[in-house]
Structure 1
Amino acid sequence: MKVTLTATAIICILLPAILYAGEGSMTAAEIVRQANHMALYQGEDTKGSVKMEIKDSQGRIRRRAFNILRKNADTKDRNQLYFTYFLAPADVRKMVFMVHKHAALDVDDDRWLYMPSLDLVKRIAAGDKRTSFVGSDFLYEDISGRSPEEDRHELTGTTDRFYEIKSVPKNPGSVEFEYSISYVDKQTFMPMKMAYYKRGNLCARVIEVMKLENIEAREDNRKVVYPTAILTVARNLETGSQTTMAFSGIRYNAGFGADLFTERYLRRPPRDVMR
């Protein structure tokens, strides 16, 4: 499955839509809840390898490679644990980014960054979650996800393929955008594109899923299939840069223990993370 746009300007134009007039019985909140589950919470845990390519406005390219593990900390699509171990290039090799995500709005996520060059573990402040993730066009918050409870959601339109959801932050001072528009696939409920707008309806940033793949796994002793984004692009329309993340070796329900996602493993990650 692929969504392709041929020009930057088109990215910022809303898809042709028929304004919502009671189609079915799903509300905006229900669609967002389903989309949030598909993007972030499928399976009890996930492991995968990522190759990241960062291209600036002049066409210069930097590359990153890392492994990422995710474990649900409950069964309600709320709290989660993330562990990201960097493999390349040399200046970030063995760097670790770890997140304990808390869905409650009055509790900040716990985030750590281990920098091997300094042998330093740094806590990332809550205000830093919307800064660049290792110099890419993805933000720290993009990696672990934004809680649906942080925004007000409205179903503004539909097409044959997508639900169009407008999300307005409840706390505008905490983010750099005024609202976002998400395009949620009607069949899979995967959010295929998210566009972020600043004042004056200026589209400043777009994240787009370019390819989905059905990943087979076992769940409760039965075979299941998880639609998974394996190629994603983030574009900064203000700077002209873009970042591509390509996922491989994805496994669900591997049975990682919660003790893996603790500070003791930041300096000495287990083999499951490094290979």
Structure 2
Amino acid sequence: MKKYSLLATGLLLLSHSLATPLAHAAEVDVDNLVQEAERASYYSGNDGRSDARMMIVDKQGRKQLRQFTILRRDVSENGDQQMMVFFSRPSDVKDTVFRVEKHVDVNVDDDRWLYLPALDLVKRISAGDKRTSFVGSHFYYEDVSGRAISEDTFVLQSDEADAYVLKATPKAPDTVEFAYYVVRINKTTKLPMEINFFKTNGDNYRRVEAVKIEDIQGHPTVVRSKVSDLQTGGYTLMEFRNITYDLGLDDDVFSERSLRNPPQQWLN
């Protein structure tokens, strides 16, 4: 079975609309809908490049900035993927590199590594750490590399004028911090628009949303996204620039060697 993630940066802004009768729910193929959302969110072009800037704001309003370049390559159509994230600013994270080998086989965990230049250390990110902070931000490692839909049970909550609303419940609740999440998927683009995470007591404690969407080479693309900690008021805003698809990136770009020797031709 394949993995399909709804958790990362493929998100659209929440639409305010009236729901149509839920009788239409029986006509919606939820499994197919989730797969379409995965393709729209993560498989634009055969590969891609983007410069990104992340602003982290804590509960006291203090700000931190992160600047980096993301490279992504599809190993196979709608299948395994490779990803590299090269940090350039500020100085305390400069030359840090995040590497991902994403596997669609649900029985195989995604491989994630973090290169720490100050220690000249390659740290493997274990499966148990995938829902922890990504370089001090409100994004999780799993938000970046993806979550398998086979880990959750999806139910259609409502069929609105321009969006489907799904509720996802984890099959192994002891392995995650949420009881369930609710995701809104745009009917036209099939992009997830907003994801709200809930605790067992029903508290909505975390939100992933889109702030701005643009058409890039014919692909609806998120150029600004936001993750909010609804308990503390802290949040992280991520902006993407210089987005390009179908560059013809080679497999060597995503090798272990690139952790210490980044492919400069794709970073400038």
TM-score by structure 1 length?
0.89
Partner of 1:9: none
- Structure 1 residue 17, shift from structure 2 partner: 3.5
Once the two structures are superposed, the pairs formed by residues 62-141 of structure 1 within 5 Å of their partners are: 62-75=64-77, 77-141=78-142
The answer to whether the 8 A contact 1:85-1:95 is kept is yes
| Distance (whole Å) between structure 1 residues aligned to residue 118 and residue 19 of structure 2 | 51
Task: Give per-residue Cα distances to partners, 1:118-175, cap 9 Å, x unaligned.
Answer: 1111111111111000110100010112122221111110211210011111111111
Partner of 1:233: 226
Task: Give per-residue Cα distances to partners, 1:213-271, cap 9 Å, x unaligned.
Answer: 0001xxxxxxxx00000000000112211000000000001010112111111001111
| Distance (whole Å) between structure 1 residues aligned to residue 147 and residue 21 of structure 2 | 26
| Distance (whole Å) between structure 2 residues aligned to residue 16 and residue 196 of structure 1 | 22
Once the two structures are superposed, the pairs formed by residues 1-275 of structure 1 within 5 Å of their partners are: 3=13, 17-18=19-20, 20-22=22-24, 25-75=27-77, 77-216=78-217, 225-275=218-268
The answer to whether the 8 A contact 1:36-1:148 is kept is no
CA RMSD of aligned residues (A): 1.9
Q: Count residues with an aligned counterpart.
A: 258
Partner of 1:11: none
The answer to whether the 8 A contact 1:167-1:180 is kept is yes
The answer to whether the 8 A contact 1:85-1:273 is kept is no
The answer to whether the 8 A contact 1:114-1:120 is kept is yes
- Structure 1 residue 3, shift from structure 2 partner: 2.9
TM-score by structure 2 length?
0.91
Partner of 2:4: none
The gaps in structure 2 that reach 5 residues or longer are 1-10
| Distance (whole Å) between structure 2 residues aligned to residue 4 and residue 189 of structure 1 | 13
| Distance (whole Å) between structure 2 residues aligned to residue 207 and residue 84 of structure 1 | 20
Moved segments of 4+, more than 2 Å: 1-5, 14-20, 22-26
- SS of 2:260's equivalent in the other structure is coil
- SS of 1:71's equivalent in the other structure is strand
- SS of 1:117's equivalent in the other structure is coil
- Structure 1 residue 23, shift from structure 2 partner: 5.4
- SS of 1:34's equivalent in the other structure is helix
Query: Residue type of the partner of 1:34?
Result: E
- Structure 1 residue 4, shift from structure 2 partner: 6.1
- Structure 1 residue 91, shift from structure 2 partner: 0.3
Task: Give per-residue Cα distances to partners, 1:72-126, cap 9 Å, x unaligned.
Answer: 1111x23111100001000000000000011222111111110011111111111
- Percent identity of equivalent pairs: 40
- SS of 2:23's equivalent in the other structure is coil
- Structure 1 residue 59, shift from structure 2 partner: 1.0
Query: Residue type of the partner of 1:209?
Result: A
Tell me: higher relative CO, structure 1 or 2? Use CA pairs within 8 A at least 6 residues apart: 2
The answer to whether the 8 A contact 1:53-1:245 is kept is yes
